[in-house]
């Protein structure tokens, strides 16, 4: 006989244990797009306690819809090895241009990242940060449903050594910091510089250059990197997102190893 109450107790129990186990982490990733997923997989693989918070029900960010809802994505030569590493099937369209089914890509990145050890809290939004001595030391989180309904419900807090802002075009973590903190970001203007219009070639190179610490304790990854440091958007070519996630993870793993 199946007991509905046991089913309910199982869910509550397991979820609360998972949440409690991630109240203090090495890295908190905000945003579950391609950049965040690659970063999360790599950090989990390196043995660091990593939690991802994603506002939406689904993980995968801007991948699902490909370009203008044609559900295929393009990945350039330099990043194909990351698709291979995750086991995402792709095929060459022209030399140096590979395509992948965007549904296959989003679901596989998510599957591999979680199986490697990344813990994902979907339906949870970052609404604020905790700052101590001019460094981000925590995230302030709330149910996305609370945010969407505009309910007056106070959030909860987690502690983290590092944050990766992988929120895409919106650059939400760094925008919160720029808005609320009386301190400058590591950008030319000291503020979020804002993205420029579409230029795939430039944008893809800049994404990697701009994957760096934008405020003490906070790294950029993916489209957020260009939005914060004032570079171009790239459209539905995803290699830069994958490479940026990889770079953010490698850099943070190096710092964590040194005890930073
Ligand atoms: O936008 P998104 O896919 O970011 P990305 O990894 O990739 C960008 C590409 O999809 C595309 C592009 C290049 O091809 O330009 O846009 O840089 O994923 C960002 C995720 O962050 C979530 C959001 O729902 C999305 O799934 N997100 C944004 N703000 C918050 C958040 C927040 N405050 N709290 C939690 N999740």
For the stretch 188-243, pLDDT in tens is: 999 999 999 999 999 999 999 999 999 999 999 999 999 999 999 999 999 999 99
Q: What is the mean pLDDT of residues 165-183?
A: 96
The pLDDT of residue 251 is 98
pTM to 2 decimal places: 0.98
Using 50, 70 and 90 to split pLDDT, how confident is the model at 248? very high
For residue 220, how far is its CA from the centre of ligand 1 (angstroms)?
12
* Structure tokens given for 16: 């609360």
CA distance linking residue 161 with residue 196, whole number of Å:
31
Backbone torsions φ then ψ of 254, nearest 5 degrees:
-60, -45
Q: b/e map of 94-124 (b: 16 or more CB within 10 Å)?
A: eeebbbbbbbbbbbbbbebbbebbbbbbeeb
Output the residue whose Cα is nearest ligand 1's atom 22.
31
Contact 243, 78 (CB under 8 A): yes
DSSP 222: T
Taking 90 as the threshold, does the pLDDT of residue 244 lie above it?
yes
DSSP three-state, residue 216: coil
Phi then psi for 190, rounded to 5 degrees? 85, -5
Residues pairing with 72 in the sheet: 101
CA of 76 relative to ligand 1 center, distance in Å:
20
Instruction: Quote the tokens at residue 237.
Output: 């070519």
Cβ–Cβ under 8 Å, residues 222 and 241: yes
Contact between residue 158 and residue 139 where contact means Cβ atoms under 8 Å apart: yes
Q: Which amino acid residue places its CA nearest to atom 9 of ligand 1?
A: 62
Question: How far apart are the CA of 56 and the centre of ligand 1, in A?
Answer: 10
Q: Which CATH superfamily is domain 20-257 in?
A: FAD/NAD(P)-binding domain (3.50.50.60)
Residue 183, pLDDT score: 85
Min mean pLDDT across 47-56, 181-190, 216-225 is at: 181-190
**pLDDT tens, residue by residue, 13-45:** 999 999 999 999 999 999 999 999 999 999 999
Per residue in 89-134, pLDDT (tens digit) is: 999 999 999 999 999 999 999 999 999 999 999 999 999 999 999 9
pLDDT tens-digit readout, 137-161 = 999 999 999 999 999 999 999 999 9
> Which helix (H) or strand (E) is 135 found in, with range?
strand 135-143
DSSP structural state of residue 108: H
Q: Ligand 1 pocket by C-beta < 6 Å: which residues? A: 30-36, 53-56, 61-63, 125-126, 166-168, 170, 172, 222-224, 233-234, 236, 238, 241
Q: What average pLDDT does this structure show over 2-14?
A: 98
Q: Strands 156-165 and 24-30, how do they pair? A: parallel
Atom of ligand 1 nearest to the CA of 245: 6
How far apart CA 104 and CA 205 sit, in angstroms, is: 25
Q: Is the dihedral of CA 182, 188, 189, 193 positive or negative?
A: negative
């Amino acid at each position: 006989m199946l007991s509905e109450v046991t089913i309910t107790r199982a869910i509550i129990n397991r979820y609360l244990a998972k949440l409690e186990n991630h109240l203090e982490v090495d890295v908190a990733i905000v945003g579950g797009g391609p950049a965040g997923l690659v970063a999360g997989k790599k950090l989990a693989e390196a043995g660091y306690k990593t939690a991802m918070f994603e506002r939406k029900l689904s993980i995968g960010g801007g991948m699902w819809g490909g370009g203008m809802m044609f559900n295929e994505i393009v990945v350039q030569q330099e990043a194909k090895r990351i698709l291979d590493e995750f086991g995402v099937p792709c095929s060459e369209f022209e030399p140096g241009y590979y395509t992948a089914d965007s549904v296959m890509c989003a679901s596989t990145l998510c599957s591999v990242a979680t199986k490697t050890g990344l813990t994902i809290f979907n339906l949870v939004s970052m609404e604020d940060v905790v700052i101590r001595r001019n460094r981000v030391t925590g995230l302030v989180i709330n149910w996305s449903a609370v945010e969407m309904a505009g309910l007056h419900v106070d959030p909860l807090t987690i502690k983290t050594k590092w944050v990766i802002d992988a929120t895409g075009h919106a650059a939400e973590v760094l925008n919160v910091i720029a808005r609320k903190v009386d301190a400058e970001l590591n950008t030319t203007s000291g503020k979020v510089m804002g993205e420029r219009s579409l230029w795939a070639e430039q944008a893809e190179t800049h994404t990697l250059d701009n994957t760096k610490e934008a405020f003490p304790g906070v790294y950029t990854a993916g489209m957020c990197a260009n939005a914060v440091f004032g570079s171009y958007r790239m459209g539905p070519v995803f290699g830069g997102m994958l490479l940026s996630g990889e770079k953010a993870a490698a850099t943070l793993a190096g710092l964590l190893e040194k005890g930073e």
